[in-house]
Structure 1
């Protein structure tokens, strides 16, 4: 059954399939509690609301006997750091440069789950992709998919760190794999490159300083001390992922819907700042960017404009100083002030 499962997972497009037990991450609850106690989750209140399930996968579904962990590569075909030098353009995280991975991965998981039930009709399954209270990365390490690096993301010797995770909880009792161990060694490339110094220590992240959190999860104005450090990153940040040496073993993304749209590789800030709600929704239909809404997105664009050093963009920001959204208006005034000092 397990060999057939792995083979079928590859047929469905997954690069790697491993199995663990729901109770295989006993350390997760304590680490999560410490993270929450320090307030490092910022405005992500949902992390605390389901901390009991998140910290103990066995509590999420007590009937589950096995957790099938799967990896699907989204490795970029271009250098994701190159756009950072194009200061009149926006940098969008690689994973968000095309279709929403939640939809793509979940459909694959459901197909694999249906196949599993065909083989074992009495089995039950639940599939998860990043939106449920499941700590996929610790489970991924316990299953042997890879290990959580110093940047806290999962990476693997045969995949690098450009891959999505999916999980299938099942009542089937499937032989578990051996956990993976840390192979980061003395490397600190991911820690050293972080623009906002979001890593208090190796293997620890303070989300309140992470650009991915600030541009996606954080509501309202970003602290002024951090705005300049955002550079032209307008949705997410790939710096710590992009510099990982293990990426030399990364596998190409086989799913065409993960290949970057041309208009999202390095979009012009001036055009993005002009988006109203309808235009924003049209441009990002089917994209994970859509969920943060026009106001938060344009806020990010205005911070990037303020960091551009391009005086020609001052007039673009000036048009939004009286925007109906207070945070957008604040970002516009900040950008105008920054460019006025150039």
Structure 2
């Protein structure tokens, strides 16, 4: 079998299936094991117990699928047109949702296409061992993508590509075919530390190292408890995830727009007022987030996050009314509602208070200068 020719055909098939980049690497991630263990030992994984539970399996793909010798790594762009970054962040009465989650949940879409890629290979070579993964198993997808030449690891720990920045999803197809491997690309971050200095909660504690316990994405999505006081003001109007470290990255200024209709912004989620989103009952929440990654956090965490954003918003009688209407329904949400009402009362007494934190005002200016298509 001509594996060089097969590898080229796999890349062509992958691009035809909608992947913007397809790379191939081996399964050797030994050099990442020590760093992974330090990250866990430092507690940077927060309450994501599965990170610790699976241990070093994350760095050993061949243990997930015995016989695996190669990983086909793919990326798919998700940046929607008219993403509205500045418009939403600049208006503290609107809820900001991380752009990866404004459309349909990417997990099934990418996994199904990886499965089709695996089947195309099987039609060419006959029965072989393969298995697709999209955040569905303990695997270090970013180091694999880096080794496969899809990009380099930025200081925010995300994979960066010279042509499209970091607005893309990753997926892997584990195979037992000895395909030729691709060459990694050079790290081009240089001395730039924009992502590190712009993080609202200073969660990037070292180059390429994120303390999840401080990360807004972790706090608003993965974390189930009471949001620590020290982070509430910094969260601003970010109600699901955070894109700040990507927004300030120079390589994202000319990022490619997605062609996938499933990743377009849902009108029910984009540039909606905090009160509109907070007033959803559970049936409305489930209906309007059907097929979305947002649905998995549930209505309680959704309202918890919104209560914080409402506390950070300028004084508004409608916000106060919405908050009071939900009091007594859930203990977790109540704790954040009480805080938000106190914040609203303080702002009522200081009507001229600046509605946007300094960091957010600076971020909006950067977006307006660096992302012209967002105007």
Range into which the TM-score falls when normalised by the shorter chain: over 0.9
Per-residue deviation, 1:79: 4.0
* Deviation for aligned residue 1:59: 2.4
Cα distance in structure 1, aligned partners of 2:42 and 2:323: 36
Aligned pair partner of 2:142 in 129, 137, 146: 137
| 2:18 equivalent among 13, 19, 30 | 13
Shift of 1:249: 4.1
Structure 1: distance between partners of 2:346 and 2:225? 24
Q: 1:317 aligned to 2:335?
A: no
User: Which stretch of the first structure deviates more once superposed, 269-278 or 229-238?
Assistant: 269-278
- The equivalent of 1:33 in structure 2 is 37
Give the drift of 1:336: 0.5
Structure 2: where are the runs of 5+ without partners?
1-5, 348-375
> In structure 1, how many angstroms separate the alpha carbons of the residues matched to 2:208 and 2:86?
23
Give the 5 Å matches for 1:76-91. Answer: 76-77=80-81, 78-91=83-96
Question: How far apart in 2 are the matches of 1:240 and 1:22?
Answer: 29
Once the two structures are overlaid, the 10-residue window that deviates more, 64-73 or 26-35, is 26-35
Q: Residue 63 of structure 1 aligns to a residue in which SS?
A: coil
2:193 corresponds to: 188
Q: Work out which of the residue numbers 292, 299, 306 in structure 1 matches 2:297.
A: 292
Cα shift at 1:107:
1.2
Counterpart residue number, 1:174: 179
65, 68, 74: which one aligns with 2:72: 68
Which among 102, 110, 129 is matched to residue 124 of structure 1?
A: 129
Q: Is the 8 A contact 2:268 2:288 kept in 1?
A: no
* Alpha-carbon separation, structure 1, partners of 2:280 and 2:334: 14
Deviations 1:277-323 (A, max 9, x none): 22211110010000000000110000000000233211211222212
Query: Once superposed, what is the RMSD of the aligned Cα atoms?
Result: 1.2
Select the residue among 285, 299, 305 that pairs with 2:310. Answer: 305
- The correspondence for 2:48, drawn from 44, 61, 70, is 44
How many angstroms apart in 2 are the aligned matches of 1:265 and 1:189? 26
Residue of structure 2 equivalent to 1:247: 252
The counterpart of 2:105, out of the listed 71, 90, 100, is 100
User: How does the TM-score come out when normalised to structure 2?
Assistant: 0.88
**1:235 matched to 2:248:** no
Q: How far apart are 1:262 and its partner, in Å?
A: 2.3
Query: Greater CA deviation, 272-281 or 282-291?
Result: 272-281
| 1:5-26 deviation digits (Å, cap 9, x = unpaired) | 1111110000000000011x21
In structure 1, distance between residues paired with 2:169 and 2:243: 14
Q: What is aligned with 2:363?
A: none
Distance 2:129 2:254 in 1: 35
1:59 is aligned to 2:63: yes
SS of match in other structure, 1:17: strand
